[in-house]
Amino acid sequence: MAINPPIDATKTPAWVALQKHYDELQAEGISLKKWFAEDPDRVKELSFDAGDLHFDLSKNLITPETLRLFTFLADEVKLGDRIKAMYSGVHINNTEDRAVLHTALRRPVEDEGKYIVDGQDTVKDVREVLDRIYKFADEVRSGKWTGITGRKIETVVNIGIGGSDLGPVMAYEALKPYADAGISARYISNIDPNDLAEKTKGLDPETTLFIIVSKTFTTLETLTNAREARTWLLEELTANGAIADGDEAQKAEAIKKHFVAVSTNLEKVAEFGIDPNNAFGFWNWVGGRYSVDSAVGTSLAVVFGPARFEEFLHGFHEIDEYFANTPFEKNVVVLLGMLNVWYRNFFKAASHAVLPYDQYLHRFPAYLQQLTMESNGKSVRWDGTPVTTETGEIFWGEPGTNGQHAFYQLIHQGTQLIPADFIAFVNTPNPTKDGDQDVHELFLGNYLAQTKALAFGKTADEVRAEGTPEEIVPARVFTGNRPTTSIFGVALTPFSLGELIALYEHITFVEGTVWGLDSYDQWGVELGKQLAKQITPAISKDDEALAQQDASTQALIQFYRANREF
């Protein structure tokens, strides 16, 4: 089905109204202090709950009127129609002519037969693959599935890159307290040989299982690392006498026991030598960066178990339903997407910080970078016409409190406006005391203090009142009015992690819809891949290929040739 041309958001009455509203706020003077003082209901009006996550938007540079205009804009760009189109399998990824159905990955069994897309019962197929993954995961966890020498698997090594790595490794790190089968995971992604060298160090080949994850099964990095891992495994098993040198049947058996694959391209999996019975599929309607809850998350099902994986899926589904069914004016997912547009296009904020106050979420910002920036880092709209306003802000972050001692200076006192999401949880799996002090509360004290400091700042008079010498006063002033959203969860669980991921998936979608983008293609990664293929032969041997390079590339290669020592 053809999709409608994008609506130019900047030409809508809602956009014009938002611009007027922005100009008026600037003219009156934006002051969170004043807004809090004048409106005792501000926090109530700007707080929301979705699933078991609580959201406080009150420390943003918005008023209840801004929210009203956000919903007006959502209506004008026909966000509702677009949500329906996505959920029902319209090919909204039009540059690749594909449906966008990550929401089908987490639908319950009862939805079988209800989402037939291009002739496929999507939910039925999803559940079939999940059943196979769960059976496999149970076998590995219980020790029924063993390595070639009969020993239980102790380490799964996920080899993949981009969406086939960032989601699984982020979720593995986030859910570590739930690992309950004595199995740990490692993740190899970079084609830099250092990655594989370090991640295979200390591994026992007899108890190691590799999961090769690649949607296309053609990605250079992943296939190179998979071949290297195969060589490593066979050499190590031969060296320790587990298999006989030159025994091809034993080698094939070792690969069968120690390699499984996840891909949409099962033919290529078979070509690699992996038994198709040990391959878990997914479909081209799952984008790589939207795939952690598909078979791409197999390492998670093994480490944490099928029940936890199901809870993870329920968390996603909770937010999917909330997003699709909550009126826009109360729909915090829609409002957060619009808030990002507000900062990007009206305040011209170029970046957005995501600051988890939970060490287990330390890979969450890296994961979000692919999700958001590969989705919305674009200059043309889904009909090929140029965008009409800025798109794709830079997402970045580190866990608090580490960030506080690194880059928060710039957020507090720098010259740019950096909206920030602060994410924390009420409960911790590691409660401890330092004397009488609960350490988690000490941590949360920082979470709360930072958004307060950013919002309300410190005036020159307040600084003076502390006895600060006059010449140092300006350096110690905090302007305040630096916007933050507080996201507070009850605990970091498989369920709430699923909620958080779905939240950002849909925020990304809302922004993409306003900007008229196909948020599901990624043509911008292709040119570099093509050129790498052309340049690699020129590096050490092919002088003809070298001569075809630009002067800068040639000079860099000459430097390499002159200094190579290995």
Give the interface with ligand F6P as residue ranges (CB under 6 A): 161-164, 214-216, 219, 222, 288-289, 374, 522, 525
The nearer residue to ligand F6P, 493 or 522, going by C-beta atoms, is 522
The nearer residue to ligand F6P, 162 or 498, going by C-beta atoms, is 162
Least spacing, CB of residue 227 vs ligand F6P, in Å: 14
- Of 428, 326, 402, the C-alpha closest to 79 is 326
Least spacing, CB of residue 217 vs ligand F6P, in Å: 7
Least spacing, CB of residue 85 vs ligand F6P, in Å: 22
Least spacing, CB of residue 375 vs ligand F6P, in Å: 10
Q: 258 and 140 in contact (C-beta within 8 Å)? A: no
Least spacing, CB of residue 213 vs ligand F6P, in Å: 7
The nearer residue to ligand F6P, 58 or 375, going by C-beta atoms, is 375
In the residue annotation, 21 being an active-site residue is answered as no
Which of 11, 33, 529, 541 is labelled catalytic?
529
- Of 392, 394, 455, 400, the C-alpha closest to 422 is 400
The nearer residue to ligand F6P, 293 or 358, going by C-beta atoms, is 293
In the residue annotation, 362 being an active-site residue is answered as no
Backbone angles phi, psi at 181, to 5 degrees: -120, 15
The nearer residue to ligand F6P, 357 or 382, going by C-beta atoms, is 382
Least spacing, CB of residue 214 vs ligand F6P, in Å: 3
- Quick one: three-class SS letters along 64-94? HHHHHHHHHHHHHCCHHHHHHHHHHCCCCEC
Which of 34, 114, 405, 433 is labelled catalytic?
405
Least spacing, CB of residue 522 vs ligand F6P, in Å: 5
DSSP state at residue 525: G
Residue 269: burial class (beta carbons within 10 Å; 0-12, 13-18, 19+): buried
Q: What is the Cα 308 distance to its own chain's centre?
A: 19
Q: 332 and 499 in contact (C-beta within 8 Å)? A: no
119's torsion region: left (phi>0), alpha (psi -120 to 50) or beta?
left
Who's near 250: CB < 8 A, 6+ residues apart? 148, 243, 244
SS3 294: coil
Q: 194 and 186 in contact (C-beta within 8 Å)? A: no
- Quick one: three-class SS letters along 434-466? ECCEEHHHHHHHHHHHHHHHHHHCECHHHHHHC
Least spacing, CB of residue 473 vs ligand F6P, in Å: 50
Q: Which residue has the tokens 């019975």?
A: 277
How are the residues of the chain apportioned to helix, strand and coil, as percentages rounded to the nearest 5? 55, 10, 30
The nearer residue to ligand F6P, 60 or 294, going by C-beta atoms, is 294
The nearer residue to ligand F6P, 166 or 507, going by C-beta atoms, is 166
The nearer residue to ligand F6P, 260 or 334, going by C-beta atoms, is 260
In the residue annotation, 405 being an active-site residue is answered as yes
DSSP string over 100-167: --GGGGG--GGGTTT-EETTEEHHHHHHHHHHHHHHHHHHHHHTSSB-TTSPBP-EEEEE--GGGTHH
Sign of torsion over alpha carbons 463, 466, 470, 473: negative
CA distance 380 to 500: 28
Strands 433-434 and 155-159, how do they pair?
A: unpaired
- Of 474, 518, 502, 493, the C-alpha closest to 6 is 518
The nearer residue to ligand F6P, 222 or 401, going by C-beta atoms, is 222
Instruction: Return the structure tokens found at 161.
Output: 């890159």
Which of 206, 310, 318, 374 is labelled catalytic?
374
Which strands form 184-188's sheet, in the order they lie side by side? 184-188, 155-159, 208-213, 259-263, 279-281
Least spacing, CB of residue 100 vs ligand F6P, in Å: 13
Peptide linkage before 401 cis (omega within 30 of 0): yes
Least spacing, CB of residue 392 vs ligand F6P, in Å: 15
The nearer residue to ligand F6P, 170 or 183, going by C-beta atoms, is 170
Residues catalogued as catalytic: 374, 405, 529
